[in-house]
Amino acid sequence: MVRVAGVGAQRGCDTMAFVPSIVRPAGQSELVAQAAMVFGNTVRLSIIHVLGRGPALRTELVAKTGLPAKTIGAQLTELEAVGAVKAEAQRGRGRPMLYYANQVQLEKLLSALAEYALGGMSDKDTGVPLGSH
């Protein structure tokens, strides 16, 4: 195992993997940080991509993304925490969850991210009207 700088290392723990906490610069809203977390991760983005075409069970997400069930599960938890994805228990054995993209929240996050990323840019700064891309 490798000692990795971070929370575990500060406690003297050896760890195989470490996920650093998100650092948010001054002036960046919580919504923008959430948007970066959702759209700045290729696995989460692939889940959203699949769910954008319609609801899916976790097994369907695994099949459509080619990613391990454990990975999908962890990322669904993160996406649910910020409201980007909703889940609904289904009837039947084990009560599987059906996942949906929360279109309203995803648009809100994407809008906040675009406004933050492009905020302050005007037509004269870029030479190109912002709406012409």
* DSSP state letters, 58-85: HHHHHHHH---HHHHHHHHHHHHHTTSE
Indicate the residue type of 117: A
CB 82 within 8 A of CB 37: yes
Residue 12, Cβ neighbours under 10 Å: how many?
7
CB 75 within 8 A of CB 43: yes
Assigned token pair, 108: 């809100």
pLDDT reported for residue 121: 55
The pLDDT > 90 percentage for the chain reads 61
| Per-domain residue ranges of the chain | 28-118
Pick the CATH number of 28-118 from 3.40.190.10, 3.40.120.10, 1.20.140.10, 1.10.10.10: 1.10.10.10
Using CA atoms, how far apart are residues 91 and 116, in angstroms rounded to an integer?
42
Assigned token pair, 5: 């700088």
Q: Could you tell me whether strands 85-89 and 56-57 are parallel, antiparallel, or unpaired per DSSP bridges?
A: unpaired
Report pLDDT digits (tens) over 78-130. 999 999 999 999 887 777 899 999 999 999 999 999 999 998 554 544 455 55
| Secondary structure letter of residue 92 according to DSSP | S
Using CA atoms, how far apart are residues 23 and 88, in angstroms rounded to an integer?
32
pLDDT reported for residue 22: 61
What predicted TM-score, i.e. pTM, was given to this entire model?
0.71
CB 29 within 8 A of CB 110: no
pLDDT reported for residue 8: 37
Report pLDDT digits (tens) over 36-81. 999 999 999 999 999 999 999 999 999 999 999 999 999 999 999 9
